[in-house]
Structure formats: C-alpha cells, structure tokens
Chains A and B, each alone.
Chain A
Amino acid sequence: MTTGILALQGDFREHEEIIRRLGIPVQQVRLPKHLDTIDRLIIPGGESTTIGKLLVKYGLIEPIRRRAGRDLAVWGTCAGAILMAHQIIDGRPEGQPNLDVMDIVARRNAFGRQRDSFEADLDVPVMGEQPVPGVFIRAPGIESVGMGVDVLARLPESKIVAARQGRLLATTFHPELTGDDRFHRYFLEL
C-alpha cells in the first residue's frame, strides 16, 4: 500500500525521500481524492496555522478524522503533531484549525522562538539503546497525554516529545532532517 504525505506546505519532500528509500510508494496529498489509495499519512513539519487553514479549505479535515487510527495510520512531526492534538495551547488567540485525532495536548513554541531551537539526543526505548538524534525547531511540547496514549520519549527535564496512541504517532522533533530512519520504519509497522 501507499503512504500519503500531506503536501500542502512544509518539509514534505524530506519525508518522501526517506519513505521512497525504504521501498514504499508515496502519494502527495493536497486534495481529498489523494486519500483514496493510502493507508498511512505523514503530516510534515511546517507552519501549523498555514497547513490547518489549507486542510479546512480543501475539505481534508473530515475524511482524515474519519479514518485516522483505524484504516489510516497517521504520524505528525512538529506542526503535524500540533495538528493531530485534541487541544492546542498558545495557538492563535482566535483559535486555529486542527484535526483533533489524538488524545494529547500540544503547546506551540514550547521552547521559545527560533534562537532557542536546539538539537538533543533522545532516549527512545522502543527504538533500542542507540539514542535518537532530535532536531527541535520552534518546537511544540506535548503538555499531557490521555489514557491509552503511550509516552515514547521525554527530554531530560521531562517534557514529552514523542507519543503513540495505537496507529497514531506524534513527534515534536524532525526525524526527517536526520540520517536516522528508525522512526520512519517504526511508523511503517504501525
């Protein structure tokens, strides 16, 4: 089956290159018709306000929400994690659209502005002993998770940065910007 990559805006090509390298066909998703042939969807990094607005504009919210976690595995990185969240803190004061498919609360720009962006090695037990390189760019944090959501990784000061709820996966960092494809392989097994 084909893996869809939401291609409205953001670093979708980086995800696409890795998925193709793993031998899986890719469909860029810009309109609802592009969802027909996919059984997985990656929501890339980008600007959550821009992607959210375009999701609404092209009628993508409902068809994704209906299938997410069921016959559609979904993984959001950074902005993608924000869009998957049940609730967004520090978003636009007038509210911003989200998919609301995963029982997590995301805080936008949880670490500050761009000058506070950072890299850190992450201990992710499900990925084995080797630390996972984490690239955090104006990154969100996961403030809290609901029942049935597993925390996959935390920063040393305890902020949650990766979580899984069945066939839903959220990471607040960017595995697609590193040479480490373990998260991509993990997602393809969900």
Chain B
Amino acid sequence: MEKSTWTTKVGLAQMLKGGVIMDVVTPEQARIAEEAGAVAVMALERVPADIRAEGGVARMSDPELIMAIMDAVTIPVMAKARIGHFVEAQVLEALGIDYIDESEVLTPADDEHHINKHGFKVPFVCGCRNLGEALRRIAEGAAMLRTKGEAGTGNVVEAVRHARTVYGEIWRLQSMSEDELYTAARNLQAPFELVREVAKTGRLPVVNFAAGGIATPADAALMMQLGVDGVFVGSGIFKSGDPARRARAIVEATTHYNDAEMIAEVSKGLGEAMVGIEISSIPREQLMAGRGW
C-alpha cells in the first residue's frame, strides 16, 4: 500500500469535476455551502473582496478557524497558503487539510520561488493565467490548476481571458510539429516534456477549474463552456443578497452548463449579486493575478 501518490493527488481533483468549490469564512457558511451542493469549501478568514477592501498583508487563516470548518462539513476542505510560504503549507498539512491553494489572493511570501510541492502528502492547487504558468506549477508538483481571474471583483472578464489563453495555447501546440515544440517550450517558459505531453494529448495533465470573478450561474456556465472542469466561487456567494439560493443556482448551472433553459430557470429571482468592480478602475499594484512567477 502506498499513500499520497500522484494518482491519488490528481485523483481527488478529478472527483471534484463538474462541481463548485465555495469560499467560506465560518463553520455556518461551510454548512450552507455543503447543503447547497458544494463539492468542497475553501476555509478563509476573509473572502477576497474583503482582503481587497481592507488591504494590508493577507496570510494563512487561523488554524482554529480552519479546524472548526473541517469539523462542520463532510466534504473536502481546502485552505490557502501564501506563494512560496512552505511553512504555512506544512502547517496546513499538519492540520489534515485536504487540498492546499498556493494562492495569489494572499500576499506573496517569496517573490521568486513557489513552494516545491512534490515533498508534501497533501495535494496543491495553483493559479495560472496562461499555459506556461500552468505547466511551471505542474512541474513544481501542483496536482490541480485554476485560472486566476481577478479575485474579489465579481467581474468575470479576467477569468475568461485566462481560460481562453490557456486553451488557445493548447490548440496551437497541437498544430505544431515536434521540431517546433522546443522553441514553443522556450517561449512558454515551460518544461519541454510537459509541453510535448500537452501537444500530444490536447489537454492539461491535471484538472483545471476557473476562479476569480464568478458571481452568477451564467458566469459559471460560461467558464464551463469555455472548457474548464469546474468553478471556484469566492466572494460571489456570501457577498450576495441570498447566499444559499445563489449557491444552489450556481451548482445547478455548473451541472447543466450546456442547457440554457435550465440556466434561465435557476437564474430567476436570485436577489442582488455582489456589486463588482471594473478591472480598469483597480490600481495596477493592487491586481492579484500578476502575483506568481
């Protein structure tokens, strides 16, 4: 018997496919998320919209809060560590968390290196804006990816940009001859072996969810139709008027992402969505997606 193999790490993400992972800041919210049909929850002290509003350094959440959320639900619980902060990751592993998100939503702890994720028993999910970034994270041991989007904005435009970029780059690799892949790997700044694998299979080697700015059932279905395997919803649920109802609607829209009548039905009367922010109004240094190397 072998514990925590690459297959079991990548495999948990495969079990989450077609599902919605929700940010929660209290055990009560975690129970609402589970009841609504979330496949997992992300345990946080503050959702990205509040991190954005309050500023300051955002760090790993209090272990006491994370454990209270783990006790509240039977579904997998994820938590965030700062980019490069391998001790926060060690702490989360010690708590028995099911997935660690090495996240640009928190303030980076290392401005050159990400965590070497191969040495951990707990799998990692990492953000990406393009194929090169995605493959660099996989090379470091990430067993799941998510497009970054721009967290805490309720604006899906960046999530769309990142998903289109990743899948567009995969399409282009597929049309290349082997000779061209060496230069492609150099241009993507990604390991050649992974570039060749993607060119051959036409897909990422791990599951890829969308994140950052998803606020409505139609947003979730949009990302699914663009080709992602599932969605993270952060501030979009518990910053809205009727979280439980919106959470259920986003779960249903993710399952029936190709069925417009169903999406129409679940979108009715959801109450107020989170207000949202136009990306161009955010000062450049406050954009989160640019964090990560």
Interface residues of A (CB under 8 A from B): 7-14, 30, 45-47, 49-50, 53-54, 57, 78-79, 90-92, 108-109, 113-120, 135-138, 174, 177
Contacts and interface: CB of A to CB of B under 8 A. Distances in A.
A115 B93 contact: yes
12 contacts: A7-B255, A9-B19, A11-B17, A113-B97, A115-B4, A115-B96, A117-B3, A117-B9, A117-B12, A118-B5, A135-B11, A177-B7
B4 A108 contact: no
Given A46-B18, A174-B11, A91 B74 contact: yes
Contacts of B4: 115, 117-118
B291 to A, nearest CB: 26
Interface of B: 1-5, 7-9, 11-12, 14-19, 34, 37-40, 73-76, 93, 96-99, 121-123, 251-252, 255-256, 259
Contacts of A13: 17
A45 B15 contact: yes
Contacts of A113: 96-98
Nearest to B11: A137
Contacts of B123: 114
A14 B6 CA distance: 17
Nearest to A157: B1
A135 B5 CA distance: 9
Nearest to A90: B74
A125 to B, nearest CB: 20
Contacts, number: 116
Contacts of B73: 92
A11 B14 contact: yes
Contacts of B14: 11, 14, 45, 177
A50 B7 contact: no
A6 B96 CA distance: 31
A118 B34 contact: no
Contacts of A117: 3-4, 8-9, 11-12
List of 10 A-B pairs having minimum Cβ-Cβ separation, nearest first: A117-B8, A114-B98, A9-B18, A47-B39, A120-B1, A115-B121, A11-B14, A118-B3, A53-B37, A137-B11
Contacts of B8: 114, 117-119, 135-137
Contacts of B5: 118-119
Nearest to A136: B8
Nearest to B259: A30
Nearest to A133: B7
A7 B19 CA distance: 11
A116 B3 contact: yes
A50 B37 contact: yes
Given A9-B18, A115-B122, 5 more contacts: A7-B18, A11-B14, A47-B76, A117-B4, A119-B8
Nearest to B5: A119
B95 to A, nearest CB: 10
Contact of B99 (A11, A114, A116): A114
A15 to B, nearest CB: 11
Nearest to B256: A30
A136 B73 CA distance: 20
A92 B33 CA distance: 13
A165 to B, nearest CB: 24
B3 to A, nearest CB: 5
Contact of B251 (A50, A92, A109): A50
Contacts of B17: 9-11, 13, 46
A7 to B, nearest CB: 7
A138 B12 contact: yes
Contacts of B256: 30
B121 to A, nearest CB: 4
B3 A46 contact: no
Given A113-B98, A137-B11, A177-B7, A46 B2 contact: no
